[in-house]
C-alpha cells in the first residue's frame, strides 16, 4: 500500500505542481538524457525504488555485491593511489619525471611506452622512424629498464605499465630488474595493462590474432599467480573502449565481457578461479556525465561480483571484488581554451572518488596539444590532492549510496550492460564477437553519432561550439629534442653489439619452442631479457610463430 501511495504522491506532484509550473516557465530543451542516452526524469523519488531491496542491491562495503565499495573502510583507511601516467623520450628523461612526481607526493608510478615498444619494434627498426620516444619512453632492452628505474627501489614503489602485446616482455624486464636490485618477487607490486581483448576492440596495438594473444596473457596470469603474488597481471580496460567512442554503457559491457573472456580462458587452461581472479584488476574512463560515471563504477562492481560467483563459481570474496584504476577522459579535453580542461578534470576526478576508485590519473590540461609540461602535470596532481585533503568527499564510504537518482541510474546501466553481455555470449563469446567485428562496429557507430551531435550543436562543448573565443592565447607545450631518436638507436646498437650472439640465438630458439609447444613463456622470457635479448627480437618470434593479425576494415 505504501508503495502505491509513493507513486500516487509523485503523480499528484507532477500534475498539480510540476505541470502547471513548466506550462508557465518551460523547460530548457526537449531532450534530457545522459551521455549514454538514458532519459533523465525531472525528479527521482521513493517511487523509483519500489521493488528495490538494500541488502540485494547494495549490501555493505567490502562485502558482496561490493556496490558500495571493494573495501570496508575505503578512503578512511588510505586515499586512492595517485598515479600519474608518465613517459617520454629516453629512459633518463622519464626517470627524472618519475623522481619529480614522487617528490611531489605521488604514491605510485605509471609508465607510458613509445609506439615502437608498444608494437614490438626496437628503436633501431625502420618502422620506428619518427616515433622513438614520442608518445612514451623508448625501451628496447633491459639496459633501458635499468636506466628507467635508476635509484628507484622496486620494493618501495608500485609500478603500473601501460603496455599490451609486448606486456610479457616488459614484465620479464621488471622481474629481471628486481633480481638485479636484490628484491624478491614476492615483494614487488604493480600492474601490467596486458589487456589484449580491448586492443582488438579499441586501442589497436597488436601483433598476433586474438587466440594466441590471449594465450600469452593467460601465461602471465598463471605465472604471476604462482611467482609474483602482489602483481596485477592484467588491467581489464574500458578506458580505450570509451575513448574510441563507446558510450558509458558500452564501456561497462565490453570491459566486463573482456574480463569474463580472460576468466574463461584461465579456467579452460585448468586454473582454479580463486587462484588468479583476486589479482585481476580494472581500468575505467571517467567522462563528463558526473552521475552516470559514478553509477557505472558501482554497477561494474555489482555485475562482476554476481557473475564471478554465479557463473564461474568463485568462492573467495577477493575473486568477486572489482578493484579499479580510473583516468579522466582524454577525449573530453578541448584544444580550444585549454585551461577549461582543468575544471573538467576536477569534476571527473571527483566522480571517480565518489564512484569508489582505487587509483586515479588526472589528465593535464595541455595533453590535447602535446605531451604535458611539468607545470600542467603538477596542477593535475594537485587536483587530486585537493579532493583528498580539502573537500571532505573521502570522509565516508559511498556518500551518494541510496540516492533515488543514483540508484535508479546504477540499476539502468546494469540492465543495459547485461543485455550487451548476453548478446556477446550468444555470439559465442568475446573472441568470436571481435572476429565478427561486433564491438568494433557498435563503437564506430556510437562515435559517429556523437560527432554528428557535436557538429550540429546538439551536444554543447564549452569553448568549441558555444562560448567560443575568436582570438586564443597560445599555451606553451613540451617539445622533444629530435636527437632523442638518434641516441636511442645508437644505444640499442651498442647493447646488441656487446652480446654473445650464440646466447641470443639460443634464447630465441627456447622462446620459439615454448610458443609452439604451449609451455608458459614467462620463465624463458626472464632468462632471455637478462641476456639483453631485445623486445623487438622477442616480438619477431611471436610474429613468426603466431602470425600477424589483420583487422576487419570497419568504418
Partner 1 sequence: MTERKVRVLVAKPGLDGHDRGAKIVARALRDAGFEVIYTGLHQTPEQIVATAVQEDVDAIGLSVLSGAHNFLFTRVLELLREKGAGDIAVFGGGIIPQEDVQALKALGVKELFTPGTSTQDIIRFVRDNIRASV
Where along the sequence are the contacts to partner 1 (CB under 8 A)? Answer: 115-116, 118-119, 121, 127-131, 134-135, 199, 203-205, 243-245, 331, 334-336, 368-371, 444, 447-448, 451-452, 454-455, 461, 464, 474, 477, 479-480, 550-551, 553-555
Residue 336 C-beta: closest distance to partner 1, Å = 5
Rounded Cα–Cα distance for residues 288 and 294 (Å): 11
Identify the CA nearest to 220 among candidates 179, 158, 279.
279
Any residues with CB less than 8 A from the CB of 325 and at least 6 apart, and which?
Answer: 81, 83, 160, 191, 235, 281, 282, 283, 284, 357, 358, 359, 360, 361
User: Please, which residue, 66 or 549, has the CB nearer to partner 1?
Assistant: 549
| Segment holding 104, helix H or strand E | none
Least gap, CB of 369 to partner 1 (angstroms): 6
Residue 109: strand pairing partners: 84, 159
Give the DSSP letter string of 37-97: --B--S---GGGGTT--HHHHT--TTSTT-TT-SSSSGGGT-PPEEEEEE--BSHHHHHHH
Which residues lie below 8 Å from residue 44, measured CB to CB, with a gap of 6+?
A: 403, 404, 405, 408
* Bridge partners, 234 (sequence order): 280
Closest to partner 1 by CB, 490 vs 551, is 551
- Spatial distance between the Cα atoms of 285 and 280, rounded to a whole number of angstroms: 17
Cβ at position 500, least distance to partner 1 in Å? 30
Nearer to partner 1, 14 or 135 (CB): 135
Using the minimum distance from each CB to partner 1, give the nearer residue, 380 or 526: 380
- Least distance in angstroms from the C-beta of 394 to partner 1: 33
CB atoms within 10 A of CB 185: 17
For partner 1, which is the closer residue by CB, 194 or 359? 194
Minimal distance in Å, beta carbon 465 to partner 1?
A: 8
DSSP SS3 for 22: helix
> Angle formed by the axes of helices 404-427 and 438-455, to 10°?
140
Kindly tell me which of 386 and 452 has the beta carbon lying closer to partner 1: 452
Least Å from the CB of residue 120 to partner 1: 10
Rounded CA-CA distance 57/510 in Å is: 51
Angle (CA) 500 503 507, round 5°: 140
From the CB of 112, what's the least distance to partner 1, in Å? 12
SS3 283: strand
CB-wise, 497 or 555, nearer to partner 1? Answer: 555
- Residue closer to partner 1 (CB basis): 24 or 550: 550
137 strand-pairing partners: 89, 113
Shortest separation between residue 536's beta carbon and partner 1, angstroms: 12
Question: Taking the complex as a whole, how short is the minimal distance between the CB of residue 417 and partner 1, in angstroms?
Answer: 21
CB of 337 to partner 1, least distance (A): 10
Maximum pairwise Cα distance, the chain: 87
Which residue lies nearer to partner 1 by CB, 115 or 154?
A: 115
For cell 565490453, what's the residue? 254
CB-wise, 89 or 259, nearer to partner 1? Answer: 89
| H helix intervals, 1-46 | 2-13, 19-24
Three-state secondary structure readout of 483-514: HHHHHHHHHHHHHHHCCCHHHHHHHHHHHHHH
In the complex, the smallest distance separating the C-beta of residue 229 from partner 1, rounded to whole angstroms, is 32
Residue 227: CB minimum distance to partner 1, A: 31
Q: Which is closer to partner 1, CB of 368 or CB of 512?
A: 368
Q: What is the DSSP-derived secondary structure letter of residue 168?
A: H
Nearer to partner 1, 212 or 403 (CB): 212
Do 131 and 114 contact (CB within 8 A), yes or no? yes
Amino acid at each position: 500500500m505504501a508503495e502505491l501511495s509513493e507513486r500516487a504522491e509523485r503523480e499528484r506532484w507532477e500534475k498539480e505542481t510540476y505541470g502547471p509550473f513548466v506550462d508557465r516557465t518551460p523547460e530548457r530543451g526537449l531532450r534530457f538524457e545522459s551521455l549514454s542516452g538514458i532519459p533523465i526524469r525531472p525528479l527521482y523519488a521513493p517511487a523509483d525504488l519500489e521493488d528495490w531491496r538494500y541488502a540485494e542491491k547494495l549490501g555493505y562495503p567490502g562485502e558482496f555485491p561490493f556496490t558500495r565499495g571493494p573495501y570496508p573502510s575505503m578512503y578512511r583507511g588510505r586515499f586512492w593511489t595517485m598515479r600519474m601516467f608518465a613517459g617520454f623520450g629516453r629512459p633518463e628523461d622519464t626517470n627524472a619525471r618519475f623522481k619529480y612526481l614522487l617528490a611531489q607526493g605521488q604514491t605510485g608510478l605509471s609508465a607510458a611506452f613509445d609506439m615502437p615498444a608498444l608494437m614490438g619494434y626496437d628503436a633501431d627498426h625502420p618502422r620506428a622512424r619518427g616515433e622513438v620516444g614520442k608518445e612514451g619512453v623508448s625501451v628496447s632492452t633491459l639496459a633501458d629498464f635499468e636506466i628507467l628505474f635508476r635509484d628507484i627501489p622496486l620494493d618501495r614503489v608500485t609500478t603500473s605499465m601501460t603496455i599490451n602485446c609486448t606486456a610479457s616482455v616488459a614484465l620479464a624486464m621488471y622481474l629481471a630488474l628486481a633480481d638485479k636490485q636484490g628484491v624478491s618477487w614476492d615483494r614487488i607490486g604493480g600492474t601490467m595493462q596486458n589487456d589484449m581483448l580491448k586492443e582488438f576492440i579499441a586501442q589497436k596495438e597488436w601483433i598476433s590474432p586474438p587466440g594466441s594473444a590471449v594465450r600469452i596473457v593467460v601465461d602471465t596470469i598463471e605465472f604471476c599467480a604462482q611467482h609474483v603474488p602482489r602483481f596485477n597481471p592484467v588491467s581489464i580496460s574500458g578506458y580505450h573502449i570509451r575513448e574510441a567512442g563507446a558510450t558509458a554503457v558500452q564501456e561497462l559491457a565490453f570491459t566486463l565481457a573482456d574480463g569474463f573472456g580472460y576468466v574463461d580462458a584461465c579456467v579452460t587452461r585448468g586454473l582454479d578461479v580463486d587462484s588468479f581472479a583476486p589479482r585481476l584488476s580494472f581500468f575505467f574512463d571517467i567522462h563528463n556525465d558526473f552521475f552516470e560515471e559514478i553509477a557505472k563504477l558501482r554497477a561494474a562492481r555489482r555485475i562482476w561480483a554476481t557473475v564471478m560467483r554465479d557463473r564461474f563459481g568463485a568462492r573467495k570474496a577477493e575473486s568477486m571484488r572489482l578493484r579499479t584504476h580510473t583516468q579522466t577522459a582524454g577525449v573530453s579535453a578541448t584544444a580550444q581554451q585549454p585551461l577549461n580542461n582543468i575544471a573538467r578534470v576536477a569534476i571527473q576526478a571527483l566522480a571517480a572518488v565518489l564512484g569508489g576508485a582505487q587509483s586515479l590519473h588526472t589528465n593535464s590540461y595541455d595533453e590535447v596539444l602535446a605531451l604535458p609540461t611539468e607545470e600542467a602535470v603538477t596542477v593535475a596532481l594537485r587536483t587530486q590532492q585537493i579532493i583528498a585533503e580539502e573537500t571532505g568527499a573521502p570522509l565516508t564510504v559511498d556518500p551518494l549510496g541510496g540516492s533515488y537518482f543514483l540508484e535508479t541510474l546504477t540499476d539502468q546501466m546494469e540492465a543495459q550492460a547485461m543485455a550487451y553481455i548476453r548478446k556477446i555470449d550468444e555470439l559465442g563469446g568475446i573472441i568470436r564477437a571481435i572476429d565478427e567485428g561486433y564491438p568494433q562496429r557498435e563503437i564506430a557507430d556510437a562515435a559517429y553519432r556523437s560527432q554528428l551531435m557535436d557538429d550540429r550543436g546538439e551536444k554543447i562543448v564549452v569553448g568549441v561550439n558555444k562560448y567560443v573565443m575568436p582570438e586564443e592565447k597560445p599555451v606553451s607545450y613540451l617539445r622533444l629534442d629530435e636527437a632523442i631518436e638518434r641516441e636511442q638507436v645508437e644505444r640499442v646498437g651498442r647493447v646488441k653489439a656487446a652480446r654473445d650472439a650464440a646466447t641470443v640465438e639460443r634464447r630465441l630458439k627456447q622462446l620459439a619452442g615454448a610458443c609452439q609447444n604451449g609451455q608458459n613463456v614467462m620463465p624463458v622470457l626472464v632468462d632471455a631479457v637478462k641476456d639483453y635479448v631485445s623486445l623487438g627480437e622477442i616480438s619477431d618470434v611471436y610474429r613468426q610463430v603466431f602470425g600477424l593479425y589483420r583487422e576487419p576494415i570497419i568504418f
